[in-house]
């Protein structure tokens, strides 16, 4: 039986001359041979694509006009329909999500072209540099900060402003951006900062966890704002505010230990990204605490819950021995140990229980010391086991992480040994660790990728130059007043300025200046400053100073340029006092120019024991150096310079 179409054409069933019925020719619907599935425009993903195992590429609307370009100025992003699907706290965390950032929505509408460019710079350039030393930092910067910027206006404004500041920083040659309020990028960053503050004010009355998390995250971003601008006082202030916010978040978390309500899903916190976000905050705040503690010369740094209390059980194996599952575990463990060691040494310093001959620590102090030694030994053994087990799985980035951990372990080993020996040898105890100083410098060469380029770095320091003398208004004490307190008044004092980095280090011929680097975690700055300020061997010491001044790095709150300039002043003072000491000696030949050749050439009385840095302006500080002789006499220290950046 056959059917006829209008026009008399036979469709099927028509016999051909051979008697075989005609077959319909089958061809694919599309030229590629792949079946086409029309997107149903579902949010966050297309149900038709997902049900068939395909990956939805998103729906692109062109309204029939292929030449139409998206506008540079658009409506505010939080009113777009994709916003609700990007709440990171509502996403269950899987093993793959931690290391594979979720792709961004195909539609990103910013309020201006500059804002979009700054966000893209932060995402593609700032985040990789901030997390360059430790892969675990990606959980905070890549997964937490970027995802939160999709849903929280305050975080988004702070992110775009920080991206603009970092771009300005990367195009310079210093460790802080220029203090130029007329620069367009700086103006944009400050406007974004103000918008972030207004956005936080709008949600200040809310007690929802997502807003508390956004406030803390913005506070950390503001800390980075201030440190890139060179405003140390503001960065410390933002850090302190962040500590308060974190303690509030910790109390809220403990009140609801099993279930999070409100905007978060009703599920156990151990299986959600909220728990991972909390652990990321612990890492970030501990990092800033370690850096801030070395910059604060007062005792009002608030107590902080350390990782040894929150993450210690993660590192324990079934037999009770310490075992690291990854470099992340090792980093968490040693960061908590470094933080606790700092607190221990500061307490000992305030009670004169170390670095002085005849110091007698209390029994409770010795008990704390024994615990720190055991923790360090356990951590080093577990770290060696981890390296042997996963040696073939490490890439170049992981190897740098290993170098950083190894470098900080060298410094911690040295300080633990110094505590044990200082009551016998006093300030001369630092001379026993030249092998450690050499190891720190060699590891720094590897981390800074300058092994092939290095010449004799110890000869790159320029001849001693005197900084210009400036008049500055300082607080000056005039002794006791009638009330029994200390009378303090403002007085103009002529102080010599510390020269900048380019006046101290000779530039190599035919070699470009390294660009500045901004990382969030501590890397080479702290260990190199320890070597430059405490090592009296002239060659090793000068190498450390050159590395600080030659390679500009901003590591969180730490700054290589300022660390190098201060240590350069310490070296010059000690060697000048040593020269005067030996010149006055009867055994010295007056015809021979004295020069420090070994650490023993610097007498103990000529060594700098204390360095006091006090902020006297937005980007200005006084640096007061107190020698061992002045400290023993109870004097304040007469060697003072002023440093600007």
Q: What's the pLDDT tens digit per position in 35-56?
A: 566 666 666 667 666 666 666 6
Asked whether the beta carbons of 198 and 575 are under 8 A apart, the reply is: no
Using alpha carbons, select from 587, 545, 566 the residue that is nearest to residue 461. 545
Q: Higher confidence at residue 81 or residue 613?
A: 613
% the chain with pLDDT above 70: 69
Residue 492: which pLDDT band, with cuts at 50, 70 and 90?
low
Q: Higher confidence at residue 205 or residue 375?
A: 375
Can you say whether residue 63 is alpha, beta or left, with left for phi > 0 and alpha for psi between -120 and 50 degrees? left
Is the pLDDT at 89 greater than 60? The verdict is no
**Rounded Cα distance, 607 and 594, in Å:** 17
Q: Residue 492 forms beta bridges with which residues?
A: 473
Is the pLDDT at 99 greater than 80? The verdict is no
Is the pLDDT at 183 greater than 60? The verdict is yes
Q: What pLDDT does 542 receive?
A: 94
Is the pLDDT at 57 greater than 70? The verdict is no
Residue 586: which pLDDT band, with cuts at 50, 70 and 90?
low
Can you say whether residue 41 is alpha, beta or left, with left for phi > 0 and alpha for psi between -120 and 50 degrees? left
Please identify which residue in the block is written with the tokens 């932060």. 122
- Tell me the average pLDDT across 305-313: 43
Is the pLDDT at 81 greater than 50? The verdict is no
Is the pLDDT at 588 greater than 80? The verdict is no
Q: Residue 615 forms beta bridges with which residues?
A: 621
469-480 and 553-555: which strand pairing?
Answer: unpaired
DSSP string, 198-255: HHHHHTTT---HHHHHHHHHHHHHHHHHHHHHT-HHHHHHHHHHHHHHHHHHHHHHHH
- Tell me the average pLDDT across 353-363: 85
Q: What pLDDT does 196 receive?
A: 94
Sign of the Cα pseudo-torsion (579, 584, 585, 590, in order): positive
Q: What pLDDT does 310 receive?
A: 45
Q: For 187-201, what is each residue's pLDDT tens digit? A: 999 999 999 999 999
Q: For 282-291, what is each residue's pLDDT tens digit? A: 888 888 888 8
| Sheet of 469-480, strand order | 469-480, 486-497, 639-644, 620-627, 608-617
Q: What pLDDT does 332 receive?
A: 87
Phi, psi of 270 (to 5 degrees): -70, -15
Q: Which of 146-150, 175-179, 254-258, 532-536 ranks highest by mean pLDDT?
A: 532-536
Terminus-to-terminus CA distance in the chain, angstroms? 95
Asked whether the beta carbons of 605 and 624 are under 8 A apart, the reply is: no
% the chain with pLDDT above 90: 39
Residue 616: which pLDDT band, with cuts at 50, 70 and 90?
confident
Asked whether the beta carbons of 295 and 236 are under 8 A apart, the reply is: yes
Q: Where are the beta strands (DSSP E) in 411-564?
A: 469-480, 486-497, 517-519, 553-555, 558-559
Q: What pLDDT does 228 receive?
A: 95
Mean pLDDT lowest for which of 265-274, 389-398, 430-439, 486-495? 265-274
- Tell me the average pLDDT across 85-108: 41
Mean pLDDT lowest for which of 91-100, 360-369, 446-455? 91-100
Distances (CA, A) of 548 to 278, 410, 457, 534: 34, 18, 11, 15
Provide the 10 A C-beta neighbour count for residue 556.
24
Burial state string for 99-130 with b = 16 or more CB within 10 A and e = fewer than 16: eeeeeebeeebbbeebbbbbbebbbeebbeeb
- Tell me the average pLDDT across 521-545: 95
Asked whether the beta carbons of 56 and 44 are under 8 A apart, the reply is: no
**Rounded Cα distance, 617 and 644, in Å:** 9
Is the pLDDT at 260 greater than 60? The verdict is no
Q: What pLDDT does 277 receive?
A: 77
CA 142 to chain centre: 14
Sign of the Cα pseudo-torsion (419, 420, 423, 427, in order): negative
Q: Higher confidence at residue 204 or residue 361?
A: 361
Is the pLDDT at 156 greater than 60? The verdict is yes
Average pLDDT, the chain: 78
Is the pLDDT at 348 greater than 70? The verdict is yes
**Rounded Cα distance, 65 and 67, in Å:** 6
What SS3 string covers 155-210? HHHHHHHHHHHHHHHHCCCCCCCCCCCCCHHHHHHHHHHHHHHHHHHHCCCCCCHH
Asked whether the beta carbons of 193 and 229 are under 8 A apart, the reply is: no
Q: What pLDDT does 56 receive?
A: 65
Q: Which of 87-96, 131-140, 249-258, 456-465 ranks highest by mean pLDDT?
A: 131-140
């Amino acid at each position: 039986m056959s059917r006829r179409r209008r026009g008399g054409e036979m469709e099927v069933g028509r016999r051909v001359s051979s008697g075989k019925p005609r077959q319909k020719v089958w061809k694919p619907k599309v030229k590629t041979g792949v079946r086409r599935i029309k997107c149903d425009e579902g949010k966050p993903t297309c149900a038709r694509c997902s049900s068939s195992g395909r990956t939805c590429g998103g729906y692109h609307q062109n309204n029939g006009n292929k030449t139409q370009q998206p506008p540079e100025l658009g409506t505010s992003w939080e009113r777009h329909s994709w916003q609700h699907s990007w709440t990171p706290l509502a996403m269950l965390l899987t093993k793959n999500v931690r290391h594979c950032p979720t792709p961004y929505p195909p539609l990103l509408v910013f309020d201006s072209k500059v804002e979009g460019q700054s966000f893209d710079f932060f995402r593609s350039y700032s985040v990789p540099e901030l997390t360059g030393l430790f892969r675990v930092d990606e959980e905070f910067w890549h997964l937490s900060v970027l995802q939160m910027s999709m849903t929280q206006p305050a975080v988004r404004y702070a992110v775009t402003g920080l991206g603009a500041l970092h771009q300005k920083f990367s195009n310079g040659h210093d460790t802080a951006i220029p203090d130029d309020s007329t620069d367009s990028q700086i103006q944009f960053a400050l406007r974004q900062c103000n918008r972030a503050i207004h956005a936080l004010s709008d949600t200040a009355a809310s007690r929802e966890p997502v807003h508390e998390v956004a406030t803390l995250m913005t506070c950390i971003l503001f800390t980075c704002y201030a440190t890139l601008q060179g405003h140390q006082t503001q960065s410390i202030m933002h850090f302190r505010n962040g500590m308060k916010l974190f303690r509030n978040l910790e109390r809220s978390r403990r009140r609801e230990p099993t279930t999070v309500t409100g905007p978060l899903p009703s599920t156990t916190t151990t299986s959600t990204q909220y728990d991972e976000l909390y652990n990321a905050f612990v890492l970030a705040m501990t990092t800033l605490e370690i850096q801030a503690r070395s910059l604060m010369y007062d005792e009002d740094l608030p107590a902080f819950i350390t990782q040894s209390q929150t993450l210690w059980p993660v590192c324990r194996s079934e037999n009770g021995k310490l075992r690291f599952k990854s470099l992340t575990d090792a980093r968490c463990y040693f960061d908590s140990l470094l933080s606790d060691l700092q607190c221990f040494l500061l307490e000992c310093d305030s009670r004169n229980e170390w670095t002085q001959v005849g110091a007698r620590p209390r029994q409770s102090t010795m008990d704390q010391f024994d615990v720190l030694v055991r923790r360090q030994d356990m951590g080093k053994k577990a770290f060696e086991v981890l390296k042997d087990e996963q040696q073939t799985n490490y890439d170049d980035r992981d190897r740098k992480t290993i170098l950083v951990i190894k470098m900080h372990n060298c410094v911690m080993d040295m300080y633990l040994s110094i505590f044990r020996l200082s009551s016998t040898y006093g300030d001369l105890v630092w001379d026993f660790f030249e092998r450690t100083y050499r190891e720190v410098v060699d590891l720094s060469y590897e981390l800074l990728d300058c092994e092939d380029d290095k010449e004799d770095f110890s000869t790159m320091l320029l001849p001693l130059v005197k900084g210009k003398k400036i008049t500055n208004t300082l607080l000056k004490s005039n002794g006791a007043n009638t009330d029994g307190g200390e009378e303090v008044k403002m007085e103009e004092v002529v102080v010599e300025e510390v020269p900048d980095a380019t006046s101290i280090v000779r530039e190599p011929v035919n070699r470009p200046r390294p660009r500045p680097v901004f990382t969030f975690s501590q890397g080479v700055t702290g260990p190199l400053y320890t070597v430059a300020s405490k090592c009296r061997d002239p060659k090793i010491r000068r190498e450390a100073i050159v590395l600080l001044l030659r390679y500009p790095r901003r590591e969180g709150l730490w700054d290589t340029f300022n660390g190098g300039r201060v240590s350069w002043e310490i070296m010059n003072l000690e060697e000048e006092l040593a020269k005067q000491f030996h010149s006055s000696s009867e055994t010295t030949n007056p015809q021979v120019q004295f020069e420090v050749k070994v650490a023993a050439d610097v007498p103990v009385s000529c060594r700098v024991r204390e360095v006091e840095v006090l902020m006297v302006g937005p980007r200005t500080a006084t640096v007061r150096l107190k020698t061992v002789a002045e400290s023993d006499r109870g004097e304040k220290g007469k060697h003072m310079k002023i440093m600007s950046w």
